[in-house]
Amino acid sequence: MGHENQAELAKTIIRSRISNPSFIYSFFSQSPDSNYSKLKYIISSSVTEACNNSVLLLGPRGCGKIAVLEIVLEELLKEHPAMISVIKLNGLLHSDNNCALKEIARQLCLEHQLLFSKMASFDDNSQFLLSMLRECGLAHKTIVFVLEEFDLFTQGKQRLLYSLLDAMQSVTSQAVVVGVSCRLDADQLLEKRVRSRFSHRKLLFLPPSGQDLKRLVEHILLLPADSGLPNEYIAAFNSKLLNILADEKFNAITDTLCYSDSTVSHLSKFLFSAVCHMDLNSDSLSLENFKSALPSIQRQPKLEALKDCSTLELYILVCMKRLEVKELEMCNFSSIMKEYKSIHDTFQTSDYYARNVCLRAFEHLLERSLISFEDNRGQGRSTEFRPVKLLISGHELHQGLKSHSSCPAMLHKLMDREC
Q: Is the per-residue pLDDT at 175 higher than 80?
A: yes
Residue 87, pLDDT > 90, answer yes
The rounded distance, in Å, linking the Cα atoms of 273 and 297 is 7
Residue 114 pLDDT grade (very low, low, confident, very high; cuts 50, 70, 90) = confident
Q: What average pLDDT does the segment 97-109 reach?
A: 89
Among 8-12, 210-214, 266-270, 326-330, whose mean pLDDT is lowest? 326-330
CA distance 116 to 94: 18
- The Cα-based distances of 180 to 38, 313, 325 in angstroms read 15, 44, 38
- By C-alpha distance, which of 301, 263, 309, 331 is closest to 393? 301
Q: Which whole number is the average pLDDT over 351-365?
A: 89
Beta bridge partners of 179: 56, 147
Question: Which pLDDT band, with edges at 50, 70 and 90, does 392 fall under?
Answer: confident
Q: For a pLDDT cut of 90, what percent of the chain falls above it? A: 20
Instruction: Give the sign of the dihedral formed by CA 185, CA 188, CA 189, CA 190.
Output: positive
pLDDT for res 71: 92
| Confidence check: pLDDT of 388 > 70 | yes
Residue range 214-239: mean pLDDT, rounded:
88
Q: Dump pLDDT digits (tens) for 10-20.
A: 889 999 999 99
Q: Which domains does the chain have, with CATH numbers?
A: 3-17+209-299 (no CATH), 31-204 (3.40.50.300), 303-418 (1.10.10.10)
Q: pLDDT of 190-203, one tens digit each?
A: 888 888 888 888 99
**Strand (E) or helix (H) holding 92:** helix 91-94
Mean residue pLDDT across the chain: 86
Return the beta strands (E) in 154-237 as ranges: 175-181, 201-204
pLDDT tens by residue, 22-33: 888 888 777 778
Burial bucket for residue 339 (CB in 10 Å: 0-12, 13-18, 19+): buried
Give CA–CA dist 298/244, Å, rounded. 21
Instruction: Give me the pLDDT at residue 380, please.
Output: 61
- Rounded to 5°, the CA angle 204-393-367 comes to 120
pLDDT band at 2 (very low <50, low <70, confident <90, very high): low
Q: Looking at residues 397-401, what average pLDDT do you find?
A: 83
pLDDT of 295 strictly over 70 = yes
Query: 1 falls in which pLDDT band (50, 70, 90)?
Result: low
Q: Which pLDDT score, from 0 to 100, does residue 209 have?
A: 80
Output the pLDDT for position 377.
Answer: 65
Return the pLDDT at 379: 63
Q: Over the stretch 43-66, which tens digit does the pLDDT of each residue have?
A: 999 888 888 899 999 998 888 899
Poorest-confidence range of 120-124, 332-336, 355-359?
120-124
What pLDDT does residue 347 have?
80
* pTM (predicted TM-score): 0.70
Residue 408's φ and ψ, nearest 5 degrees, are: -60, 145
User: Which of the pair, 250 or 418, is modelled with greater confidence?
Assistant: 250
Q: Is the pLDDT of residue 182 over 80?
A: yes
Mean pLDDT of 61-73: 90
Which DSSP string corresponds to 364-388?
Answer: HHHHTTSEEES-STTTTS-GGGS-E
**CA of 97: how far to CAs of 70, 186, 199, in Å?**
25, 18, 22
Q: Does residue 419 surpass a pLDDT of 60?
A: no
